[in-house]
């Protein structure tokens, strides 16, 4: 999107160039190549938001086009909305509570993040990796929030979508860079480098992770391969995953806003997955039948919501926009409105099914809860309660103590539990059968 907006490079060719580049160097370089390129790309990616903030502050003093002063800018209207509205993404409750499942997934359950933890040599290194990762994620989110507020401040009196300068909201940041960075040699290139670095870094991490998962959970379960054959198969899987991602990205613009599509798809999948993870961590009475069926049903429900939202063109309400302070006269292009101000009406019919009106954040958390409830119910029907004592070995010690304190479980029997430091704790070595443990582990794979 940035390449096509700034340099008028065809969008399809931009997707192919970035997607194939990330696919090729990930396939050839493997994990080591991904790690080193990610380090360099991270530096460029962090530098770009800082540059944008500084440039926007500098432009705010421009005499050619000077926005209203900051004293006349109510940040709370855009970033600190405390209204409890389950149909809106842009309020505190949606971002903190509704998106809780997304935060949990991104910080500790995402395959890319788990891969970093597992690559650590010791438990302390993994904890250090988690702490540093969360700090960097927080800084990244804060910088992106700052950029969003600055763009609202800059364009609040001259909306580029309303004026026809851009066709999609995804183009607003590239449009700002194209318009305001043209007089500063190298700034447009720096922004593009940051965008491409962020894109290829994400692509390479996902490709590498998916190739590892497909090989470990699918291929290795049915085929016995030599080390050389495994390397070749993994590279082929990485290449296939990269091609699939590239084709998907090329189709995104035809479905609407890329940001909106990403948020909807991400919410559809991560909610049930977080529910599956929490079931395994918390409830020993959940068996493979309950976990698998609940996850499939929840994902189906989420994709049904996503399809209906796209088919019915359900979109969130935009904030009021205006052209009152544009450098040129754009009002002639618009229907007559008071003071050239256009207040978009919500594109959500009031008689629409309530679940279709929900924010993607809230539907994500609801799908997490739905997965857990369905998993518990189906497991109870299929005999999960009878085998719960055997599954205690695969449940977190913290929750086992909680259930026993609440009198929901019998006192501890001779068993082996996974302690908080990630090692097996043997309460009675005579009660531990490694073959039985392996069998139980295989049975819980979904």
Tokens read off for 389:
């004592």
Q: Which positions ≥6 away from 282 have C-beta within 8 Å?
A: 395, 396, 399
What is the pLDDT, as a whole number, of residue 30?
62
Q: Which positions ≥6 away from 190 have C-beta within 8 Å?
A: 44, 47, 48, 51
- Residues found in the chain: 446
Q: Using CA atoms, how far apart are residues 214 and 210, in angstroms rounded to an integer?
A: 6
What is the pLDDT, as a whole number, of residue 338?
43
Phi-psi domain of 120 (left: phi exceeds 0; alpha: psi -120 through 50; beta: other): beta
| Contact between residue 363 and residue 369 where contact means Cβ atoms under 8 Å apart | no
Using CB atoms within 10 Å of the CB of residue 213, give its burial: 0 to 12 exposed, 13 to 18 middle, 19+ buried.
middle
0.75 exceeded by the pTM?
no
Q: Using CA atoms, how far apart are residues 172 and 155, in angstroms rounded to an integer?
A: 9
Q: Tell me the CA distances in angstroms from 345 to 164, 315, 327, 330, one per residue in order.
A: 19, 11, 26, 21
pLDDT in tens, 21-31: 767 766 666 66
pLDDT in tens, 51-103: 777 777 776 666 555 667 666 677 777 777 788 888 888 788 888 888 888 88
- Which residue has tokens 């279709």? 356
Q: What is the residue extent of each domain of the chain?
A: 1-67+99-254
Report long-range pairs for 143-150 (Cβ below 8 Å, ≥24 apart).
143/46, 143/49, 143/50, 143/53, 144/49, 145/79, 146/49, 146/53, 147/49, 147/52, 147/53, 147/56, 147/173, 148/78, 148/79, 149/75, 149/78, 149/79, 150/52, 150/53, 150/56, 150/57
User: Nearest CA to 293 among 381, 412, 225?
Assistant: 381
Torsion of the alpha carbons at 241, 244, 246 and 248, rounded to the nearest 10: -140
Q: Using CA atoms, how far apart are residues 41 and 246, in angstroms rounded to an integer?
A: 20
What is the pLDDT, as a whole number, of residue 417?
47
**Residues in the chain, pLDDT under 70:** 1-9, 11, 22, 25-41, 59-67, 69-72, 252-259, 327-351, 412-446
DSSP strand pairing (341-342 vs 416-418) = unpaired
Element housing 342 (H / E): strand 341-342
Point out which residues pair with 286 in neighbouring strands: none
In percent, how much of the chain has pLDDT > 90?
8
Distance, C-alpha 41 to centroid of its chain: 19
What is the pLDDT, as a whole number, of residue 319?
73
């Amino acid at each position: 999107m940035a390449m096509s907006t700034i340099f008028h490079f065809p969008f399809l060719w931009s997707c192919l160039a970035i997607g194939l580049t990330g696919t090729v160097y990930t396939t050839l370089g493997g994990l080591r190549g991904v790690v080193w390129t990610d380090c360099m790309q991270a530096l460029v990616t962090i530098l770009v938001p800082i540059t944008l903030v500084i440039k926007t502050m500098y432009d705010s003093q421009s005499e050619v086009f000077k926005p209203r002063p900051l004293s006349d800018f109510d940040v709370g209207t855009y970033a600190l909305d405390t209204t409890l509205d389950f149909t809106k993404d842009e309020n505190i409750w949606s971002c903190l509570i509704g998106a809780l499942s997304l935060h949990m997934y991104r910080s500790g359950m995402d395959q890319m993040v788990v891969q970093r933890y597992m690559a650590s040599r010791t438990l302390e290194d993994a904890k250090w990796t988690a702490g540093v990762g969360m700090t960097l994620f927080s800084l990244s989110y804060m910088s992106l929030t700052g950029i969003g507020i600055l763009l609202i401040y800059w364009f609040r009196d001259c909306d580029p979508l309303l004026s026809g300068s851009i066709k999609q909201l995804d183009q607003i940041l590239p449009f700002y860079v194209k318009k305001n960075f043209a007089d500063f040699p190298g700034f447009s290139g720096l922004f593009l480098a940051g965008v491409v670095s962020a894109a290829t870094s994400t692509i390479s991490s996902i490709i590498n992770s998916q190739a590892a998962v497909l090989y470990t959970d699918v291929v290795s379960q049915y085929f016995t391969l030599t080390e050389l054959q495994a390397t070749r198969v993994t590279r082929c899987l990485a290449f296939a995953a990269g091609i699939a991602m590239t084709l998907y990205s090329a189709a995104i613009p035809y479905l609407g806003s890329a940001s909106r599509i990403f948020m909807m798809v991400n919410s559809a999948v991560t909610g049930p997955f977080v529910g599956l993870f929490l079931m395994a961590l918390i409830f020993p009475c959940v068996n493979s039948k309950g976990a698998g069926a609940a996850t499939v049903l929840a994902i189906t429900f989420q994709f049904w919501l996503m399809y209906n939202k796209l088919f019915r063109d359900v979109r969130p309400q935009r904030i009021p926009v205006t052209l009152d302070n544009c450098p040129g006269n754009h009002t002639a292009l618009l229907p007559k409105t008071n003071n050239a101000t256009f207040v978009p009406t919500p594109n959500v019919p009031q008689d629409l099914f309530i679940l279709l009106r929900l924010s993607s954040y809230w539907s994500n958390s609801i799908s997490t809860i739905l997965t857990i409830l369905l998993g518990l119910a189906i497991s109870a029907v299929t005999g999960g309660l009878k085998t719960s004592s055997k599954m205690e070995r695969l449940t977190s010690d913290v929750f086992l103590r909680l259930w026993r304190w609440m009198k929901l479980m019998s006192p501890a029997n001779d068993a082996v539990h996974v302690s908080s430091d990630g090692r097996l704790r043997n309460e009675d070595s005579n009660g531990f059968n490694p073959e039985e443990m392996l069998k139980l582990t295989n049975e819980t794979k979904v």
